[in-house]
Amino acid sequence: MYEFEYHRPKKLADAVKLIKSKKEGKLMAGGMTLIPTMKQRLASPTDVIDLSGLGNSGVSVTKTKVTIKAGTTHAEVASSSDLKKAVPALAALAGMIGDPHVRHKGTIGGSVANADPAADYPSALLALNAKVVTDSRTIEADKFFKSLFETALRTNEIIKQIEFEIPARSAYSKFPNPASRYAMVGVFVADFGKKGVRVGVTGAKGSAYREKAMEKALTADFSADAIAKVKIKADDMNEDIHASAEYRAHLVGVMAKRAIAAAK
């Protein structure tokens, strides 16, 4: 790792000021991606601004909405009793990220800002019609994930919290890479009753996306049979040593069916 200057502000305003004043500063939430990246010298920021001093964590639930502050760890999300009641699928998803030690450090804000194509949370943000609230504005999940590690966040913009709509029922089904536990494909299905069904997919393409043909079929009939005829094209799917594009396209259908069967 190259040397850098370390900062740990206590207030969001100070963090914003710091990141704006540094030429090549980098924000660090839990550091579960940034530290390994810096160790491999794939990132060499002049300054690291650690957001863990902000104390910005917690899950709150109202009748229609779940709000998770950006600094909330995966372990905290997974074990929130309010969330387990409101959106059990979202708590379960957090409990599938990495391993227990990583979940003690990694945060939802960090994961969402990093936008790893195989990260779990992006599928939930899309399926649960989430809003990403930053220090300066609110961005809809549909407009947030742009492409590989690319989001709508401006340079120096800091996520404050994520707000999710509460569905009637939902589930997340993932086919994890056996070594990394990242999603080869993960599908989050959320049934909003009259407002329709939303399907968020991660791991399959450069960025998480909504499988709209499935959403249409499931809004008409929420059953695994309803999507049997939905054709998932392999054209723009990821291809690597772990899985071919065709295999990933096939997995999207399989994971979606499992999620539909498990939805509650």
Partner 1 sequence: MPAISMTVNGEKVCGDVEGRTLLVDFIRGNLGKTGTHVGCDTSQCGACVVHVDGKAIKSCTALAVACDGATVNTVEGLATNGKLHPMQEAFREHHGLQCGFCTPGMIMAGIDIVKRKGKKLKEETIREELEGNICRCTGYHNIVKAIQAGAAKM
CB 223 within 8 A of CB 231: no
17 binds partner 1 (CB under 8 A): no
C-beta of 56: minimal distance to partner 1 in Å?
15
Buried b (16+ CB within 10 A) or exposed e, 152-161: bbeebbbbbb
5 binds partner 1 (CB under 8 A): yes
Q: Please list the residues that pair with 188 across neighbouring strands.
A: 172, 200
Closer to partner 1 by Cβ: residue 100 or 193: 100
Residues 223 to 252 in contact with partner 1, rule: CB under 8 A? none
What Rg do the C-alpha atoms of the chain give, in angstroms?
A: 18
Closer to partner 1 by Cβ: residue 109 or 167: 109
48 binds partner 1 (CB under 8 A): yes
117 binds partner 1 (CB under 8 A): no
User: Per CB under 8 A, which region of 2-10, 125-133, 150-158, 236-244 contacts partner 1?
Assistant: 2-10
C-beta of 196: minimal distance to partner 1 in Å?
35
Q: Is 165 helix (H, G, I), strand (E, B) or coil?
A: strand
Distances (CA, A) of 226 to 89, 185, 205, 217, 251: 21, 20, 23, 6, 16
| DSSP 8-state symbol, 117 | T
Query: Pick from 19, 26, 27, 50: which binds partner 1 (CB under 8 A)?
Result: 50
Closer to partner 1 by Cβ: residue 75 or 183: 75
Distances (CA, A) of 39 to 7, 96, 163, 183: 18, 25, 33, 23
User: Per CB under 8 A, which region of 45-53, 112-120, 138-146, 197-205 contacts partner 1?
Assistant: 45-53
Q: What tokens appear for 55 in the block?
A: 């104390």
DSSP 10-54: SSHHHHHHHHHH-TTEEEESS-TTHHHHHHTTS---SEEEEGGGG
User: Per CB under 8 A, which region of 96-104, 162-170, 230-238, 253-261 contacts partner 1?
Assistant: 96-104
10 binds partner 1 (CB under 8 A): no
Closer to partner 1 by Cβ: residue 36 or 193: 36
Give the footprint of partner 1 on this chain (CB under 8 A).
1-6, 8, 31-32, 35-36, 38-39, 48, 50, 52, 75, 98-102, 104-105, 179, 181
